[in-house]
Amino acid sequence: MQLTLKRIFFFLLAVTVTNYTPLFAQPLSGKEAITRQDSLRGSLNENRTWWDVKKYTIYVEPNYTAKTIKGYVQLNIEVLKNHNLLQLDLQQPMQIDRIESNGRQFNFTRDGNHFFVSIPDGFPEKTRQTIMVHFSGKPTEAIRPPWDGGWIWRKDKSGNPWMSVACQGLGASVWYPCKDHQSDEPDEGAELRIVAPEGLTAVGNGRLINQSSLDSGRTVYTWEVKNPINNYNIIPYIGKYAHFSEIFTGEKGKLDCDYWVLEENLEKAKKQFQQVKPMLQCFEHWFGPYPFYEDGYKLVESPHLGMEHQSAVAYGNQYKNGYLGNDLSGTGWGLKWDFIIIHETGHEWFGNNITTKDIADMWVHEGFTNYSETLFTQCQNDVQAGNEYQIGSRKNIDNDIPVIGQYGVNKEGSGDMYSKGSSVIHTIRQIMRDDEKFRQLLRDLNKTYYHQTTSSAEIEAHINRFAGMDFSKLFDQYLRTTQIPKLEYKILKGKLSYRWSNCVAGFDMPVKVEMDGNPTWIHPTTTWKKHNGKISGLQADPNFYITLQKIN
């Protein structure tokens, strides 16, 4: 999840919520000038495109007292083209100590947060290669996670060390060397080997496949993910954890649900996490099967509010309903469920299963996941409750900059990607006028782009094809401008005229209205249209995110 800079401190200081604060992490939508570092991080240059990551194996050993880490990353790659320079990303002040492959040690140079590795003669095309990268240093510390990113060094209430990482937005390269670009997920998953001090447990993504002892009472916990995974989702958790589990019988059979929480919160967790099964049932109904049955589903208590870490969702909502006990919609519906459980799990479908190649298109992650809150509210209550929650969330839209950001420079768009992105989806649902077809659209998206990276343009085109409608102007209006369409109308001697204004050229979205209390559909364009018959008043359906203005 993302966050606009002006909102960073809000939930850290506020006791009650008066405005919606988009969750999470490190803000990347500032208006500062684009730098070479932005381009190196955000672009797919020739030093990145010749190799495809197949699997990450990460070994990490933290030193809690010194706030340092050391370890290695084993890069299993496929060589797509012979090339003798490789870009690796690792943010300052972390260091790469050495790089080797097949008995050869490679030289490298540093350019800010990026390393360029010289590989004499390159590797043969269409081969698999293993590159070992040893790293160490004192990673950036996250002081206010997840709003800022880095390694987290905390203690639980009993004084036990409690460690993790929050790095969405800022990037996984804040702590381990990788190709830090969303377009290249490791196709064969990842293995995370975490060294835990004596008396503590290490939890990672996927399933625990090995546990071995070291000296001084330390233990290496090895976790494995079999499915493709975003770099920033590969996260270690180390703490005084207790564990419990249950089985959810879903569309693909039995899904293991595991919960790792601080020992002191075990009973609270057993009560609060009862929301998981009805949530999974609702989401599978709307989105299709949970995308990672092979890796299981986990909630892991974290030393920060929460994040959508694939198959190991970070949970820190203090075992309260709402967002830290507050309703982000202002309607009351948001207090009937735990925001972090629902929202972060929604990302398993949108963000983790379907991933955008460029973070400029992050609305696909956040807009659809924000809409999962509306759908869960409907599942627990009724359609009207879902509509009220959705409409209430709109008050949080700023319309500061467009929802879609700038491509190729690691810059996302506005934090409006949450509520405004959700409003786009809700509007499309209204126009389709067929909830079952809309449900099948959401399921088809998750089936078509299953474990894939994509783009907003591809998602938009797919929605158009599936719905059999052209929403191109709607997407342009809401995602690429900050203007809210205005339905202007005038009534002269009982005769209604109407049109769209404050909109992109050719905007022609149909809209549901009430004429003297009678619901009907009209199809305005940017030129005046007349309605047959006499009326005295007009109201717009509140499910549409528009403004209405009477022209005298």
For the chain, give percent helix, strand, coil, nearest 5: 25, 30, 40
> What is the rounded average pLDDT of the residues 79-99?
98
Per the domain annotation, does 531 fall within a domain? yes
Q: Once rounded to an integer, what is the mean pLDDT over residues 456-469?
A: 98
Final residue before a domain boundary, out of 288, 313, 338: 313
Confidence of residue 33 (pLDDT cuts 50, 70, 90): confident
* pLDDT confidence band for 20 (50 / 70 / 90): very low
* Both structure tokens of 439: 């449900």
Q: Which two tokens mark 148?
A: 């800022």
Question: Is the residue at 401 inside a domain?
Answer: no
CATH number of the domain that residue 180 is part of: 2.60.40.1730
Beta strands 190-196; 219-225: pairing state: antiparallel
To the nearest 10°, the Cα dihedral for 541, 546, 547, 549? Answer: -70
How confident is the model over 363-412, as pLDDT tens digits? Answer: 999 999 999 999 999 999 999 999 999 999 999 999 999 999 999 999 99
Only one residue has tokens 């790659």, namely: 77
Q: How far apart are CA 285 and CA 227, in angstroms?
A: 22
CA nearest neighbour of 477 among 458, 497, 460, 498: 460
Whether 478 maps to a domain, the answer reads: no
Instruction: Please say which residue of 263, 297, 313 terminates a domain.
Output: 313
Amino acid at 472: S
- CA-wise closest residue to 60 among 218, 236, 189: 236
Q: Give the SS3 label for residue 105.
A: strand
**Domain contains 275:** yes
Let me know if residue 96 belongs to a domain: yes
Distance CA 146, CA 25 (A): 5
217-226 residue pLDDT tens? 999 999 999 9
Give the CATH number, domain containing residue 522: 2.60.40
Q: How many structural domains does the chain have?
A: 2
Assess if residue 340 is contained within a domain.
no
504: containing domain = 486-550
Q: Check residue 109 and give left, alpha or beta (phi > 0: left; psi -120 to 50: alpha).
A: beta
Mean pLDDT along residues 504-512: 98
246 DSSP β-pair partners: 257
Does residue 190 sit within a domain?
A: yes
Question: Looking at residue 430, what DSSP letter applies?
Answer: H
**Which of 286, 313, 340 corresponds to the end of one domain?**
313
As beta bridge partners, residue 52 has: 78
- CB atoms < 10 A from the CB of 391, how many? 18
Asked if the structure places residue 198 within a domain, the reply is yes
The residue count of the chain comes to 552
| 471 φ, ψ (degrees, to nearest 5) | -100, 15
Q: Identify how many contiguous H helices and E strands the chain contains and give both numbers.
A: 12, 29
> Which pLDDT belongs to residue 23?
52
